[in-house]
Amino acid sequence: MKRVLFYCQHCVGFGHLVRSSAIVRALARDFSVMFVTGGPSVTGFELPSDVDVVRLPEIQTDAEFECLQACDAEMSLEETQALRKELLIRAFDSFRPHVVITELYPFGRKRFAFEAIRFRVNPSAGTRPQPQGPNSRRFQRQRRACRQKR
């Protein structure tokens, strides 16, 4: 069965998490799915039970998206980011996805480049094919808008 890794970082509110969960549930009908999240916990919200869920240490941002903050007061932001990168690489390498879907990144959530850039560089280069990253219509519109701003 083909493997899909879906990466969603909901750092303010939980709308992206709800929409991504619906997509992941639908994908799970035909694919083996790993759902990677790392935003603040949402009380009462259940993640899909028929997929592998990886919860990275939680990070949130202020309402203006100006700075990231570790949700765990015991760890600094830098420590949290380092742990997230390590866990994400481990999950990626153990799951070996055929396809990686990122919710909003790279056109939003740019502050998560410290870890999401890992999807563009195969950590075990040469040992397996590079996973494919599909483009949505929204992705294509945002990419066109970014090019026009240049």
List per-residue pLDDT tens for the chain, 150 residues long.
899 999 888 776 677 888 888 999 999 999 999 999 888 888 888 877 889 999 999 988 877 777 888 888 899 989 998 898 889 889 988 999 988 888 764 444 556 665 665 555 444 544 444 555 554 445 445 555 555 555
Edge-to-edge order in the sheet of strand 3-8: 52-55, 32-37, 3-8, 99-102
pTM value surpassing 0.85? no
| Domain housing 120 | 3-149
The pLDDT value recorded for residue 95 is 93
> What CATH number is associated with residue 52?
3.40.50.80
The pLDDT value recorded for residue 148 is 56
Residue type, 83: L
Residue type, 64: E
For the chain, what is the domain count? 1
